[in-house]
Structure formats: structure tokens, C-alpha cells
Amino acid sequence: MIDISIKNLNKSFLQPDSENKHKYNILQIIKDLNLNIKQNEVVSFVGPSGIGKSTLLNILSGYDKQYKGDISINREINNKKLSFIFQAHNLLPWLTSIENVKLISNEESLKNDSPSKILNELGLGDFLNSYPNNLSGGMKRRVSIARAFVNEPNILLMDEPFVSLEKPLANELREKTIELINKNNVTAILVTHDLREAIMFSDRIIFCNEKPMKILLDKEINIKKSFSYDSDEVDEVYKNITMNYPNILKAM
């Protein structure tokens, strides 16, 4: 079953002309993009800066409605729920950790006490009543992961969720997120610049570059989504990709 279907997606922005400030130029970011993502599949997008990866996630999340083409997200069937983890934690500073999570919790989650359970699961049991300003960067990231999973989502969009974290912490949160993805049978898209991270999360990695976005390689990854960042299994796939597709990595 297809969970996310993208048909003939086109997206442009108007950008001010560098020489004439009264003139705007059309900048096409995505051109005739077609893609299907199956149920429970985790697909990573890897590619250079500025080619429209975040733009694509904004469209899929429903935040950006200014596009041409058909996006269909299988949200209705089985009461599917969509959630996000973005690079910025986007926590409201005047609410505590638990209030930030409760804010987006649905009735069922609140009834089951899911906000405190998921915060506990992410190691924040002692910080339920702390405000974001009193939490470290890593703790804020934990709250944003808790928020993404509190309603047991079916579909998850992640935009560079582990950047600018120290490696041990990034690895711990990567592993925890994969555990939650597996537990919830989530269909997910991950945008990342980190090939090892893409390998550990994904069933498929889509390498893309250029403007408008062009898919260079759509590669299946056949290892279980349970190996750690530095594991031999991830290493082997990493070596295989870097050896077999050097031109693609050069284009990154």
C-alpha cells in the first residue's frame, strides 16, 4: 500500500532580482517530481544545501499549499496521524516540557497519560515541569522527539533532526528515534546531510541535487533499522555506496 504519493509536483518561488529591486524572477525549485512511498517505508533525502529538501517537507506537511501537482497522504485510512521533527525544536518558551507536549496531544493521548510516559521514555522524567530556557539543547531536542511521537503517528517527517548535537547524544537520539519508528510502524521521510544516518534509518535513500531538484539515485538499503551509527553493518553499506557511486557523492 502507498502511504505518500507525489505526482508531477512543481514548486517555484519568486525571488527579487539582484540588479532591479522592483523585479522578481521565478525560481523553480521542484519540477515534475514523482515519487511513491510505501506503508512503513523510511525514505531519506540526501543532497546539497538549497535544492528544495525542506521545501518538499513543508509541502508534504501541509504548511506550504502553493504548489502544482498532486500530493496524496494516506491520512484518512486507519485514522493516520502525521507528525514532524524539525531542526529547530520550536518549543513555546512560556510552557513547561510537559505543557509543550500536552499542547499537541490528542484526547486519547491525554487520557492515557502519554505526554509524561513519552517524556519519561526519552529520559526527561525529572524535567517535566522545566521551561525550555532551563533545558540544554539536547533536552529540548528530546522534548521535540517526545512531541512527535506522543500521538502514536503513522507518518513522520524529519528535517535534519540531529544536527548540531554532540556525536554521543546524536547517536543516542538516533537510536531512540529508530526504536520509536519501529514501535509505531511509522512511514517516514528523513532529510539529512549525513550518509551514515541515512543508512541506519532507511529502506531507501534518494540522492538528489541541482535546482530544480533532480533525483540522481534511488537506492534500496537492505539492512535492519536497528544498527547503530558506527556499527559494522552501517559501515559496510557506507563503503559499498561510496565505492560504487563516487560520482553521485561528488555531486553532493
Residue 200 belongs to what H/E stretch? helix 195-201
Beta-bridge partners for 25: 15
Distances (CA, A) of 128 to 123, 164, 191, 222, 240: 10, 24, 29, 38, 44
Question: Residues 2, 7, 8, 13: which binds ligand ATP (CB under 6 A)?
Answer: 13
Residue 244 interacting partner from ligand ATP, Mg ion, none (CB closer than 5 to 8 Å by kind): none
Residue 246 interacting partner from Mg ion, ligand ATP, none (CB closer than 5 to 8 Å by kind): none
Q: Does 55 bind ligand ATP (CB under 6 A)?
A: yes
Q: Does 12 bind ligand ATP (CB under 6 A)?
A: no
Q: Does 246 bind ligand ATP (CB under 6 A)?
A: no
* Interface region with ligand ATP, contact rule CB under 6 A, candidates 50-58, 170-178, 216-224, 227-235: 50-58
Question: Residues 18, 49, 133, 164: which binds ligand ATP (CB under 6 A)?
Answer: 49
Contact 163, 206 (CB under 8 A): no
Q: Does 61 bind Mg ion (CB under 5 A)?
A: no
The length of the chain, given as a count of residues: 252
Q: Does 209 bind ligand ATP (CB under 6 A)?
A: no
* Interaction pattern, residues 134-163, with Mg ion; x per rule: CB under 5 A: ------------------------------
Rounded to 10 degrees, the C-alpha dihedral 142/143/149/150 comes to 140
Residue 119 interacting partner from Mg ion, ligand ATP, none (CB closer than 5 to 8 Å by kind): none
Enumerate long-range contacts of 246-250, CB under 8 Å, 24 or more apart: 248/207, 248/216, 248/217, 249/195
Residue nearest to Mg ion (CB): 54
Q: Does 209 bind Mg ion (CB under 5 A)?
A: no
**Amino acid letter at 143?**
V
Contact 139, 127 (CB under 8 A): yes
3-state secondary structure 112-127: CCHHHHHHHHCCCHHH
Least distance from C-beta 213 to Mg ion, angstroms? Answer: 12
Please give the residues from 41 up to 60 whose contact with Mg ion meets the rule CB under 5 A: 54
Distance CA 1, CA 244 (A): 31
Least distance from C-beta 120 to ligand ATP, angstroms? Answer: 32
- Judged by the rule CB under 6 A, the positions of this chain that interact with ligand ATP are 13, 15, 29, 49-55
